[in-house]
């Protein structure tokens, strides 16, 4: 009887030790730590938006246990960094760290949101949080999401109840030269 019980409980133990999808997503990004990739706007770009026609590069620069920092360069503008943090319950938060050339924080910075659940291994959603709503009222209904697979990393923004949609896709199969530090970085 004990052998039957052990054989029955073993699969249950294996199921309970399954890695959450958010951790799989996190680890997929970490696989690229230290690497840089060029991207292109795949939706929402238009002349004069500050992105169209410029070289777009992301650099998965800092990979710590619970923090990933990914500078996003738009031409010579090194003001943007996506900051992902993982909580003890394996939920992920995305914040946008905006800096001036001198390294000081922009007036509009640290906006974003947290995943409401562990999501899927290849996609995480980040609805705008209260801090974002307080900082940028028109962004209260923003939803950001990031997808990752073996060939691409895509950053997306949708402003719900509007036509606002922006998407930039990075080719993970073609590493580019590592850029210099983003504005506000110590190194």
**pLDDT tier for residue 184 given thresholds of 50, 70 and 90:** confident
Closest among 91, 74, 75, 92 to 83, alpha carbons compared: 92
Q: Say if residue 131's pLDDT is above 80.
A: yes
**pLDDT tier for residue 162 given thresholds of 50, 70 and 90:** confident
Cα-based torsion angle of the residue sequence 22, 26, 31, 36 in order, rounded to the nearest 10 degrees = 130
**pLDDT tier for residue 61 given thresholds of 50, 70 and 90:** very high
Element spanning 78, H or E: strand 77-86
**What does pTM read for this prediction?**
0.88
**pLDDT tier for residue 52 given thresholds of 50, 70 and 90:** confident
What's the first-to-final CA gap in the chain, in angstroms? Answer: 63
Domains of the chain, by residue range, sit at 20-176
Mean pLDDT of the chain: 90
Question: In degrees rounded to 5, what are phi and psi of residue 22?
Answer: -65, -35
Q: What's the pLDDT score for residue 137?
A: 95
**pLDDT tier for residue 45 given thresholds of 50, 70 and 90:** confident
**pLDDT tier for residue 185 given thresholds of 50, 70 and 90:** confident
Q: Say if residue 5's pLDDT is above 80.
A: no
Alpha-carbon distance of 103 to 98, in angstroms, equals: 9
Number of Cα atoms under 13 Å in the Cβ half of residue 107: 1
Summarised one tens digit per residue, pLDDT across range 68-85 is 999 999 999 999 999 999
CATH code of the domain made up of 20-176: 2.40.128
Q: What's the pLDDT score for residue 40?
A: 94
Instruction: Give me the mean pLDDT over the 160-178 stretch.
Output: 94
Cβ proximity of 109 and 97 under 8 Å: yes
Q: What's the pLDDT score for residue 187?
A: 64
């Amino acid at each position: 009887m004990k052998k039957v019980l052990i054989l029955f409980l073993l699969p249950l133990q294996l199921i309970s030790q399954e890695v959450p999808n958010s951790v799989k997503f996190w680890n997929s990004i970490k696989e690229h730590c230290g690497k840089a990739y060029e991207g292109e706007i795949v939706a929402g770009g238009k002349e004069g938006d500050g992105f169209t026609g410029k070289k777009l590069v992301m650099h998965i620069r800092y990979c710590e246990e619970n923090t990933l920092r990914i500078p996003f360069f738009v031409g010579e503008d090194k003001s943007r960094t996506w900051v992902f943090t993982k909580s003890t319950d394996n939920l992920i938060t995305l914040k946008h760290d905006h800096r001036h050339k001198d390294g000081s924080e922009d007036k509009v910075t640290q906006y974003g949101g947290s995943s409401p659940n562990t999501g899927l291994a290849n996609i995480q959603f980040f609805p705008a949080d209260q801090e974002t709503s307080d900082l940028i009222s028109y962004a209260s209904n923003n939803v950001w999401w990031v997808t990752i697979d073996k060939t691409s990393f895509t950053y997306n923004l949708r402003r719900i109840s509007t036509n606002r949609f922006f998407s930039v896709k990075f080719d993970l199969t073609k590493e580019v030269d590592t850029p210099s530090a983003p504005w506000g970085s110590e190194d």
